Copies of this chain bind each other. A is one copy, B any other.
Amino acid sequence: MEPVQTEETGPARDAGDAPDGQVLGQMIRDARKEKGLTLEEAAKAAAIGRSTLSKIENNLTKPSFDIIRRLMQTLDLKTPQLFVQSGDGDISGRRDYTLAGRGEHQETATYDHELLCTELTSKRMLPYISTIKARDVSEFESWVRHRGEEFMFVISGSLTLYTEHYRPLEMTEGDSVYYDSGMGHGCVSTSTEDARVLWVSL
């Protein structure tokens, strides 16, 4: 079988189509419409003037940071979309898949990582499958720690997840955990076979 792995088709990159200069207003307007709010309602909810909102939606003004924040709250806008910059690209209309066991391997002292969907470089989440090599906490010289959030799902085996501020968490097949990866953390296999987990970090 060939290492078929990635495809790049479809509407692909709409380069300069980011909230940069223009589209921001449109995004906000869409969000507002989607919630079925009028300018006045939305404006009041966000505690800003309706004119201001109008101007923002028509790109007649570059909103300030806190105005944006208020709008995000009101309209349930997710941060990511807003910050797409033309250049660092989004994944509009893209797809990438990885067959079981065909990810890109990367080994450390305590883990054996298999990065998934690596062809899609501009994606925002980082998924990988890891085989836990560590068998004892002492094998970690230092905690893994990096700003962001992390989700972990136990594919097979069982393990203990150590996280700062908390007591160790015993996990087995099918269990999952979500945590602030800014906290130090590390996994240790407790099953006879090495535990395998799926990690998604952000």
Contact = CB atoms under 8 A, between A and B. Distances in A.
Interface stretch (A42-50, A133-141, A146-154): A146-154
Contacts of A123: 149, 178
A165 B93 contact: yes
Given A62-B66, A68-B65, A78-B148, A92 B182 contact: yes
A9 B166 contact: yes
Nearest to A163: B95
A94 B9 contact: no
How many chain copies? Answer: 2
Contacts of A88: 73
Contacts of A82: 79
A39 interface: no
A104 interface: no
Nearest to A27: B147
A121 to B, nearest CB: 11
Contacts of A163: 95
Nearest to A201: B125
A38 interface: no
A166 B117 contact: no
A120 B165 contact: no
